[in-house]
């Protein structure tokens, strides 16, 4: 389950400010394809609901859906926007 600043793994690096997902310590925490799928989902949700859903919520939704897709349990992600 997600805890603390887990969603910070989704942030991209900027010049002079390396992101957590690019850190040697965290690689390979997620495959590049996983980041691409999460970015695609974020873009689609953002297009439908601009500035409404947080990074943590995106990650929760992706975690829930991927767990279910891989044969794990299905559970609801509460609809909050903070």
Cite the annotated binding site for Ca(2+) by residue number: 4, 6, 8, 20
- Any bridge partners for residue 23, and if so which? none
**For helices 32-48 and 55-69, what crossing angle results, to 10°?**
120
Cα 22 off chain centre by: 15
A 10 A CB-CB count for 17 gives: 8
Q: Which residues are annotated as a binding site?
A: 4, 6, 8, 20
């Amino acid at each position: 389950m997600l805890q603390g600043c887990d969603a910070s793994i989704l942030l991209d690096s900027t010049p002079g400010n390396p992101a957590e997902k690019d850190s040697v310590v965290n690689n390979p925490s997620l495959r590049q394809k996983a980041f691409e799928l999460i970015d695609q989902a974020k873009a689609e949700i953002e297009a439908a609901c601009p500035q409404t859903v947080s990074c943590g919520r995106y990650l929760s939704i992706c975690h829930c859906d991927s767990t279910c897709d891989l044969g794990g349990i299905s559970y609801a992600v509460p609809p909050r926007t903070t």
